[in-house]
Amino acid sequence: MDGALEKNLERIQGNIAKALPKGCKPPRIVAVSKHQPIEKIKDLYELGIHDFAENYWQEAAEKIETLKGLDITWHFIGSLQRKKMKDIVGTVDWIHSMDRIEVAEKISEVAQEKGLRQKVLLQVNVAGELSKMGIPPKEVMIFLHQVHRLPGLEIRGLMVFPPLCQNDEESLKWFEEGRQLFELAHKHFGPNFSELSMGTSHDYALATQKGATMLRIGESLMGVRI
């Protein structure tokens, strides 16, 4: 067992507890395990973390196969390529990065072929940064109305990517915008639209304050990538 992992997890869980609004359920920690060794995933699993996220499909596929004996919930948070959809859909439990109509349609098509419903989140580029993928905030509701009836899709919420901010106040502003978008969509699409994935290693406590239900935490939890 890697003692540093246990210390990191205790620190993160403590920070989450301090930031959590009164009466709210703690968010799920999703360990971002890209470029991390299998041994660290196994150690974190023993510590109670069963959600892991990968950005690159080849790496994800190898880890999923190697660790298939463990009851891991796998999340894919990377860019989605149509040619990889047949492999990704149904192999991972969650796809966080649905960001285009054609991607939604392809996920739906593959899911139907496999006889399943794929849990997905809509990726939102909350600040409209040209360097990042994702739907602009003003188009979120339009997009959801276009895709929410596609068979094979189980649209469960939003993944919000805020910009890298200079201070907490600026970060909180973007997280608040993400929360408001989520609440608007939740009202329209019902209780199953229940997940707000936002917050990473440097801002997870702020995201917790604003109602995140999933935190994507990488190096702060797992250490420097190899």
What is the pLDDT at residue 133?
Answer: 87
What is the pLDDT at residue 156?
Answer: 98
Segment 97-126 shows an average pLDDT of 97
What is the pLDDT at residue 226?
Answer: 81
What is the pLDDT at residue 128?
Answer: 75
Report the alpha-carbon distance of residue 182 to residue 20 in Å, rounded: 18
Q: How would residue 53 be classed by pLDDT, with cut points 50, 70 and 90? A: very high
Q: How would residue 177 be classed by pLDDT, with cut points 50, 70 and 90? A: very high
Segment 161-179 shows an average pLDDT of 90
What is the pLDDT at residue 92?
Answer: 99
What is the pLDDT at residue 69?
Answer: 97
> Whole-prediction pTM value?
0.96
Which position has the token pair 């940064």? 129
Other C-beta atoms within 10 Å of 179: how many? 20
Segment 200-213 shows an average pLDDT of 96
Reported as a single tens digit per residue, the pLDDT across 125-145 is 988 777 788 999 999 999 999
94 by Cβ neighbours in 10 Å (0-12 / 13-18 / 19+) ranks as buried
Alpha-carbon distances, residue 72 vs 67, 75, 223 (angstroms)? 8, 10, 20
Q: How would residue 176 be classed by pLDDT, with cut points 50, 70 and 90? A: very high
What is the pLDDT at residue 40?
Answer: 97
Give me the half-sphere count of Cα atoms (radius 13 Å) on the Cβ side of residue 26: 10
Segment 20-37 shows an average pLDDT of 96
Segment 152-174 shows an average pLDDT of 91
Mean pLDDT of the chain: 95
Tell me the domains of the chain and their CATH numbers.
Answer: 3-222 (3.20.20.10)
- Give one DSSP letter per residue of the chain, joined into a string: --HHHHHHHHHHHHHHHHHSPTTPPPPEEEEE-TT--HHHHHHHHHTT--EEEES-HHHHHHHHHHTTTS-PEEEE-S---GGGHHHHTTTSSEEEEE-SHHHHHHHHHHHHHHT--EEEEEEEETT--TTS-SB-GGGHHHHHHHHTT-TTEEEEEEEEEPPP-SSHHHHHHHHHHHHHHHHHHHHHH-TT--EEE---TTTHHHHHHTT-SEEEE-HHHH-S--
Q: How would residue 82 be classed by pLDDT, with cut points 50, 70 and 90? A: confident
